[in-house]
Structure 1
């Protein structure tokens, strides 16, 4: 890990600053939008617009990079981000905010793709897994720190919009001044969605449902907090709780993933997540319990992203793993687009508790579908007596196609090494 930090500290620092700014503006949208009189449906569509842009950026940014190069794409999209963040308090109209959020999501996705390419290029084959772990860690730290900054200004003023714009602008300096040589960019031909579903129905459906859950947590938590009458300080703690939970639970769940049937683990994590969200449904007037609910549901739901990818890989040949990353990103993105409007509709019908009710129902659906799939197909363990699970790779829903493809390549390498070891008759374990 020291070698990774020494060679890529500038990229990691820039990515963390970028994520701090993104985290702050994400929660600020819900708080300021309510102050401007936007209704729940409008706020949910504004949240959804970000994921529309993010999905579009993740698909178009690679083409832009191949056409004009990493540096130009990075600088151009970074300028758009800074400009959009300043325009929010000027254009206080829900439809203008939707358009700005599409631009922001597109630009941030492109910037992440570019920075992840540089980070991947700065790592060797021996350190790529450590670089991926470091990247996920700085992303989560940035998300948490951004919520703390929500307390350093008045949401009805301009300061809290200027702060993320400055942070995003500062994030470019360490990356552009200390970046490694520009890497070549090769886009993997994606696996068709039909093939991906046939390979792993649970992985396919689970990624869509998880898109619902993550976009609700990231895009609508501040809207829920505002409608529930929370202070700005309480909202910042609430949103931080989701991400702190993700950090705390990521590695314990990964440890379990390498030592038991992943399908059973998915079932129990989704079920426990649904039960945890029920705390918020019945005790939403007790902030301490609401905060505990955020910690538990975030901690259980966010690691499901990496767990579902690992489970899907259990049914893929090593040469197909990287190709599957495009499909996984796409279906998760579709779920993320649908999630906020669905939450907004339910909150409009039931009040603020609709936020927790949505998380409960979605995670329960995942658990029920996982349980049903157990009756339709044997696990990878049962299908092959010599089956040896490839280690879980920590990756969060905030990653783009480059980071996910890197994780898939690590899975493929580990799978091939295990297969070679088994052919030689040597004992193997989770690598």
Structure 2
């Protein structure tokens, strides 16, 4: 196994997580300060989701034309430019376009990076090494809000830190090999429907986690502010959710190498359901802090297990296309989640965010109780 390449690809993807973690909450705080409501902030949070859908459609074609490593480098530099323009052009309509661009560009990085990692790892280590990727990415997002808390939200430092990270990251990929090959073809929604029919549990889990992540970085800080917490406490709560995601991914990955993944999926879905329902009840107590940990760990576990199953089933172009479908589902979840939570928070209930996650988790539990949740392929034990 090419360990140096694995860690180089891992580090380049982690730079994206840190850049997003330090810049995206700053966008929401700025919009809140400008007087925009929850729905407007939710619309802003959903714009990268449209970009995700566009990026997923062209991923295989561009990877075949330019090569995986070259395309990743170009996308990282383009992401740096887009985040820099957020600082230079503080306008709601302009930011909508820039968030769309960021969605397209960084989707390509995630599709290619996750495909590259899954192609590299040995089967007997797949659960642990994919979980290490998930855990490390979560930690990079954790560091983002913490770093933003240090830098402050009154200036544009968070944006410029993100720019610096994405400028430096491409140099880590110079001379690296072992990337999956790809064919020059588009990934259509018809293909996506076939993927969802074949692996419905993975499709639902990825969409749910995408909604979770989009809302955690954009709407959760606002949710906490409106529950009466200070900006520092709100950022600490966001970070605590990500800590839960990060800390338990490695144990989940190790268990995935030994136990039924269906059982682990069901366990994560049930914990996510219970923790989501408990948030409005415990938000004003000290119990909210360990509850944030469980909330993040259970949601992150669903995504880690999804990547493990994808990696064991596919190789090369099929692997890139499968990850493109994951990105499409991610885009759908990122689009629907913030819009629904933003609208619900403004017009229905201030606790719409956790209640929406509870509804999604409940649907996944029902799906997992049925035959064929993981398709016709025999499930690993």
The answer as to whether partners of 2:111 and 2:324 remain within 8 angstroms in 1 is no
Q: Tell me, what secondary structure is at the counterpart of 1:285?
A: coil
Larger Rg: 1
Structure 2: where are the runs of 5+ without partners? none
Candidates 159, 162, 166, aligned match of 2:160: 162
Shift of 1:296: 0.9
Candidates 174, 179, 182, aligned match of 1:186: 182
Deviations 1:315-373 (A, max 9, x none): x89999846544344234312211110110111124542222222222223223434x2
* Cross-structure match for 1:240: 239
RMSD of aligned Cα (Å): 3.8
* Cross-structure match for 2:275: 276
Quick one: structure 1 residues 202 and 184, their matched pair in 2 at CA, closer, same or farther if it must change by over 3 Å?
A: closer
User: 2:266, 2:57 → 1: CA distance?
Assistant: 31
Quick one: structure 1 residues 300 and 181, their matched pair in 2 at CA, closer, same or farther if it must change by over 3 Å?
A: closer
Quick one: structure 1 residues 162 and 184, their matched pair in 2 at CA, closer, same or farther if it must change by over 3 Å?
A: same
The answer as to whether partners of 1:35 and 1:156 remain within 8 angstroms in 2 is no
User: 1:263, 1:124 → 2: CA distance?
Assistant: 22
The answer as to whether partners of 2:9 and 2:117 remain within 8 angstroms in 1 is yes
User: 1:161, 1:232 → 2: CA distance?
Assistant: 18
The answer as to whether partners of 1:140 and 1:247 remain within 8 angstroms in 2 is yes
* Cross-structure match for 2:20: 22
* Cross-structure match for 1:425: none
Quick one: structure 1 residues 127 and 55, their matched pair in 2 at CA, closer, same or farther if it must change by over 3 Å?
A: farther
Quick one: structure 1 residues 367 and 311, their matched pair in 2 at CA, closer, same or farther if it must change by over 3 Å?
A: farther
Shift of 1:262: 4.4
* Cross-structure match for 1:359: 357
Shift of 1:69: 4.4
Quick one: structure 1 residues 15 and 203, their matched pair in 2 at CA, closer, same or farther if it must change by over 3 Å?
A: closer
* Cross-structure match for 1:368: 366
Candidates 51, 54, 65, aligned match of 1:53: 51
Normalized per residue, which structure has more helix? 2
The answer as to whether partners of 1:65 and 1:73 remain within 8 angstroms in 2 is yes
Count of residues in Structure 1 that have an aligned counterpart in Structure 2: 376
Shift of 1:200: 4.1
Structure 1: where are the runs of 5+ without partners? 391-429
The answer as to whether partners of 2:28 and 2:222 remain within 8 angstroms in 1 is yes
User: 2:38, 2:94 → 1: CA distance?
Assistant: 16
* Cross-structure match for 1:423: none
User: Relative CO higher for 1 or 2, CA cutoff 8 Å, sep ≥ 6?
Assistant: 2
Shift of 1:233: 2.3
Deviations 1:146-188 (A, max 9, x none): 1211112231222222221122222233334xx3259573149
Q: Tell me, what secondary structure is at the counterpart of 1:96?
A: helix
Instruction: Identify which range, 7-16 or 350-359, moves more after superposition.
Output: 7-16
Following superposition of structure 1 onto structure 2, how do residues 407-418 of structure 1 map, counting pairs within 5 Å? none
Candidates 295, 303, 306, aligned match of 1:305: 303
